[in-house]
A = this chain, B = another copy of it.
Amino acid sequence: MAAPQSDEFCILMNKRPNLQQCADPQTECITCPIRKMALFRGIPEEELGWTQEFRDAQYLLPARKTLYREGDIAHSIYTLFDGWVILFKILDNGKRQVLRFVLPGDFFGFQVNGTGAAAGYTHGALALVESTLCAFPRTRLRSMMEKQPQLAIGLAEMGMHDMTLCQHHLIGTGRKNARESIAFLLLELFYRVRMQMLNGFDEATDSIIFPLTQEDIGDAIGLTSVHVNRVLKEMEREGLIRCQRKRLTILGEEALMEIGQFDPGMIAPKELV
């Protein structure tokens, strides 16, 4: 458990003005409800002491605030405890590409350019809704992995999962049309959110909280928000979905799967061997 106002906290707050440290008592790693899906899932209970020690603290990031920008010095890596974060890159022409949707249990912030203390994030990170983050100092990651090989294996496995998602997004932007690509994205997020909810404290539903704007969707799959709107409206008219007031309802799951060429199995977390 990090001491309130630790050195690491102060460094982090200087650089990450949008963060607020959570009030004690913070969630402890050993009782963490999302642990079984997170980076430390393979690590036995009795070892979680050092996980906790490794962790800096929990922070709160308000809705629509930036956690870090591309190029910012990368002090920390993060696990999303609660909320919804997007990782993105801004191009020279001002356009934005969403690289990843981060959901609770997901690990992020380890992709950097350069090495050591000067390493900078390769992308930006933005909260779509108020989010709670567990921060870990980046510089200790390697020694932690050497102490706990399971951590490196977990990181490799999570990397593989992220890679699969990234490749599916690439297939979407590269070889699917707007309708197919949108159908896939909606189902992917629907399944990922629901999988995470089912992880204990909620039951199956055809509806999820969905905080993306149409521009966010467009920036994820390479379309303008205008065109995303037209396709979503058409899908609503066809009775496939309902998408309003930050809530997405899947009405024609089978039809959408057909359109988007989506199979839930392919986005399941991966295991090495």
Q: Are A174 and B221 in contact (CB under 8 A)?
A: yes
Q: Does A272 contact B (CB under 8 A)?
A: yes
List 14 extra interface pairs beyond A99-B170, A152-B156, CB under 8 A: A91-B175, A96-B175, A111-B163, A113-B268, A115-B271, A145-B152, A145-B153, A146-B153, A152-B153, A152-B155, A163-B166, A166-B170, A169-B174, A175-B219
16 A-B residue pairs with Cβ-Cβ distance under 8 Å, sorted by A, are: A93-B175, A97-B170, A110-B160, A111-B160, A111-B164, A111-B270, A142-B153, A152-B152, A152-B153, A152-B156, A159-B159, A163-B163, A166-B166, A166-B167, A170-B173, A173-B222
Digit string of A148-168 for contact with B (CB within 8 Å is 1, else 0)? 010011011001101110110
Q: Are A112 and B167 in contact (CB under 8 A)?
A: no
A200 at the A/B interface (Cβ < 8 Å)?
no
Q: Is A171 an interface residue when CB atoms closer than 8 A count as contact?
A: yes
List residues of A whose CB falls within 8 A of some B CB.
89, 91-93, 95-97, 99, 110-113, 115-116, 119, 122-123, 138-142, 145-146, 149, 152-153, 155-156, 159-160, 162-164, 166-167, 169-171, 173-176, 219-222, 261, 265-266, 268, 270-273
Q: Are B222 and A174 in contact (CB under 8 A)?
A: yes
Q: Given A110-B160, A173-B173, is A273 in contact with B152 using a C-beta cutoff of 8 Å?
A: no
Measured CA separation A159–B56 after assembly (Å): 26
* Residues of the B chain whose Cβ atoms lie less than 8 Å from the Cβ of A159: 156, 159-160, 163
Q: Are A273 and B115 in contact (CB under 8 A)?
A: yes
Chain B residues positioned under 8 Å from A122 (CB to CB): 164, 167, 266
Choose one: B99, B142, B219; the contact of A167 (CB below 8 Å).
B99
Most buried by B among A119, A164, A173: A173
Q: How far is the CB of A252 from chain B (nearest CB, A)?
A: 18
B142 in contact with A272 (CB, 8 Å): yes
Instruction: Identify which of B93, B171, B270 contacts A97 (C-beta below 8 A).
Output: B171
What residue in chain B is nearest A93 (Cβ atoms)? B175
Closest Cβ neighbor of A263 among chain B residues = B113
A141/B97 in contact, CB under 8 A: no
Name the distance in Å between A107's Cβ and chain B's nearest Cβ: 11
Contact partner, A261, options B91, B119, B162, B173, Cβ 8 Å: B91
